[in-house]
Amino acid sequence: MGLNQDKVFWNASIEEIKKGYYFKGDSYTCLICGEEFVKGIIYKKGDTFYEAEKYAKIHVLEEHGTIFEYLLNMNKSFTGISDIQKTMLLSFGEGLKDKEIAKEMSLSPSTIRNHRFKLKEKEKQAKIFLAIMALLDESKGNKEEEEEELVSIHKTATMVDERYSITEKEKENTIKNYFDHSGKLKDMPSKEKKKIIVLGYITNNFNKGKTYTEKEINRILGRIYEDYAILRRYLIEYGFMDRTKDCLSYWVKE
């Protein structure tokens, strides 16, 4: 891809996130996987031809589902949405009435209305918070001294806390200290921050959108570190990769 896709995602505008893609230069790029569609090129699907932006929309829907559901399925640390709120939002998205949702969830209509009210209040809070942060960014732009840039958290992280408070400089130094010139891992760090950096760097050895067998995973990881099994376990545990229940197929999470 050439770009840090997680960083691109977190820096996208609300409108871009709603669409699932952004336009820069001469390309429409998927915010989730980074696939690009060049303006001016006609793309064919079946017997139909599409211009680039239309094809980007089709790609997002077919490869990643609706953006509404994709965002709802992100880690609760990112969305701030509880499981019951997620279920209700999905029901609201389907156009169900309060009485229908209440019946489906075995709750009273008044309970559904209360949750709807709380979601509206959360929306108001989010607007105010975004305005505050935008004003803060504007005020910082007038100052000469710049803060150290933080590394973007991968969208599929299974936990989000102070362990992800990592600067670009810390990332650079950790990679330099823990990997040799050939890309082999010298040792597995014990500190969580460094472990996250190491695992993220290792993920670059795999192609997003590709499914790997366990044998392929072991072979690739074995070239990086002798104890490939622990690398494989950590990549799953920290949300960088996923696998089927029978452990026959693995892939990088997007």
| Contacts of residue 94, Cβ cutoff 8 Å, sequence gap at least 6 | none
Q: Which residue has the tokens 């980007």?
A: 56
Residue 44's pLDDT is: 94
CA gap 22, 11 in Å, rounded:
11
Amino acid at 78: F
- First and final C-alpha spacing in the chain: 13
Q: Any long-range contacts for 228-232 (C-beta under 8 Å, 24+ apart)? A: 230/188, 231/185, 231/188, 231/199, 231/202
What the block records as the tokens of 81 is 């949405």
Domain spanning 76-140, CATH class? mainly alpha
Task: For residue 44, report the phi and psi dihedrals to the nearest 5 degrees.
Answer: -110, 135
Strand segments, DSSP code E, in 60-215 are 212-213
What the block records as the tokens of 28 is 């429409």
| Contacts of residue 40, Cβ cutoff 8 Å, sequence gap at least 6 | 26, 52
| Contacts of residue 36, Cβ cutoff 8 Å, sequence gap at least 6 | 27, 28, 29, 30
**For the chain, what are the domain ranges?**
5-70, 76-140, 162-252
Name the pTM for this structure. Answer: 0.70
Per-residue pLDDT of the chain (254 residues; tens, 9 = 90+): 434 778 889 889 999 999 999 999 999 999 998 999 999 999 999 999 999 999 999 999 999 999 999 999 998 888 989 999 999 999 999 999 999 999 999 999 999 999 999 999 999 999 999 999 889 888 876 555 556 777 777 778 877 777 778 888 999 999 999 999 999 999 999 999 999 999 999 999 999 889 999 999 999 999 999 999 999 999 999 999 999 999 999 999 88
